[in-house]
Amino acid sequence: MLEIILYKNNKGYKIYLNKVIIGKVLFEIKKGCFCINFIQINAKYRNKGHANSVIKQLLKLPYKCFITTNIAKSNIASINLFKKNGFNIIENNRQYYAKKTL
């Protein structure tokens, strides 16, 4: 079972799978938006849908706006992950960021 637990003064989540930490999400709240600074899944657990499950759980939080910080243009997996979850990908200089408004 995937479980997300808040830590670090409400600035991050640890991601657990069967009581084992498999990653983390760091975030901040800016102007009422939930700003995802990064999602990190340990290499052993990647490509198994865990990041997708995390985003789906985050989107249930009581915010009307979700954004990411910069996503490298070469990070196709992250771009596709956010697109899959209904985020708009916006180009900003040499990087992208993603935004979703509910």
**The domain that contains 59 carries what CATH number?**
3.40.630.30
> Which is more confidently placed, 16 or 11?
16
Find which of 9-13, 44-48, 98-102 is predicted with most confidence, using mean pLDDT.
44-48
Helix (H/G/I), strand (E/B), else coil: 58: helix
User: Are the CB atoms for 58 and 49 separated by under 8 Å?
Assistant: no
Considering only CA atoms, which of 55, 64, 60, 49 is closest in space to residue 17? 49
Instruction: Please give the Cα distance from 80 to 35 (Å, whole number).
Output: 18
Confidence of residue 8 (pLDDT cuts 50, 70, 90): low
| pLDDT of 94 | 74
Domains held by the chain: number = 1
User: Burial of 53 by CB count in 10 Å (0-12 exposed, 13-18 middle, 19+ buried)?
Assistant: middle
Q: Is 56 a residue whose pLDDT tops 60? A: yes
Q: Is 80 a residue whose pLDDT tops 80? A: yes
What pTM did the predictor assign?
0.86
| pLDDT of 7 | 65
Domain with 68 in it: 2-101
